[in-house]
Amino acid sequence: MTGGSSVAQRLDQVREAIEEACAACGRDPAGVLLIAVSKGVESARISQAIEAGQVDFGENYLQHALPKMEEVDGLSGRPARWHMIGRLQSNKAAKAARRFDYIHCLDSASASAAISRAMHDDGKTARVLIQVRLGGGDQRGGIEPAELQAFADEVCSLPGLSLEGLMGVAPLGEAARPHFARLAGMLESLRGRGLDNAPLTELSMGMSGDFREAILEGATMVRIGTAIFGPRADQGAR
């Protein structure tokens, strides 16, 4: 994929690449949601993406995201959907759930309980994904694969939470596709458990460097930053 000179051009290139990856494995591109990772991106450029038809955006840090989200909503005049994809601190979990449309990064009992209490108070339901650590050491968020089933049971027992699926990040320096295949297998195992409050339809995996491999392994959400907005100083969301 060659770099475009504008956000709109880069978006078109990413959409074409998604369509090509879907064609390679016989999937409908409509089944892959593109989340533009806007961490570190100023509001004006996010608005350019919205004008080019982009709806879904991912943010990593609550304190940086909230004022920017308000500004973007005022600039664009078009609705956006917001996805929390960064590590979620328990003391900020309720606030994040009240503002974001999806929480991709649920990985602790304390955050789950905080979200549940907030949603119960508000009479709402939060759409959450459990983040699974696929490797990369402790600096990566997520629960260990061996803990997934027990944690999913706990999440599904709490009111106000809808377990939409799983999220994962392939470790740097390793082939991504085997990790994505493993995460897809974990989701399939959870589906077989017949959990309550658990649609389990979403696999959030794949970033700018490996989203094609993720799509080949069944990703329904891809989180792409650099390929849309260009390089930034912090490439953690890629």
> What is the tens place of the pLDDT at every residue in 52-111?
999 999 999 999 999 999 999 877 778 899 999 999 999 999 999 999 999 999 999 999
> What is the tens place of the pLDDT at every residue in 14-29?
999 999 999 999 999 9
pLDDT category at 9 given cuts 50, 70, 90 is very high
Global pTM reads: 0.94
Smallest CA-to-CA distance from 134 within 99, 105, 168 is with 168
**pLDDT score of 219 more than 90:** yes
Please report, for the domain that includes residue 45, its CATH number.
3.20.20.10
Is 83 a member of any domain? yes
Is 127 a member of any domain? yes
| Number of Cβ atoms within 10 Å of the Cβ of 135 | 16
% of residues, the chain, pLDDT over 90: 88
Is 233 a member of any domain? no
Is 237 a member of any domain? no
Is 236 a member of any domain? no
Q: Label each residue of the chain as H, E or C.
A: CCCCCCHHHHHHHHHHHHHHHHHHCCCCHHHCEEEEECCCCCHHHHHHHHHCCCCEEEECCHHHHHHHHHHHHHHHCCCCEEEECCCCCHHHHHHHHHHCCEEEEECCHHHHHHHHHHHHHHCCCEEEEEEECCCCCCCCCCECHHHHHHHHHHHHCCCCEEEEEEEECCCCCCCHHHHHHHHHHHHHHHHCCCCCCCCCCEEECCCCCCHHHHHHCCCCEEEECHHHHCCCCCCCCC
CA 86/CA 76 separation, integer angstroms: 24
For residue 26 the two structure tokens come to: 């016989």
Pairing of strands 126-132, 102-106: parallel
**pLDDT score of 238 more than 60:** no
Lowest mean pLDDT among 29-33, 122-126, 134-138: 134-138
pLDDT score of 78: 81
Give the structural domain span for 141.
7-228
Mean pLDDT score, 136-150: 90
The count of structural domains within the chain is 1
**pLDDT score of 138 more than 80:** no
Is 142 a member of any domain? yes
**pLDDT score of 233 more than 70:** no
Is 95 a member of any domain? yes
The half-sphere exposure of 186 on its side-chain side, counting CA atoms within 13 A, is 30
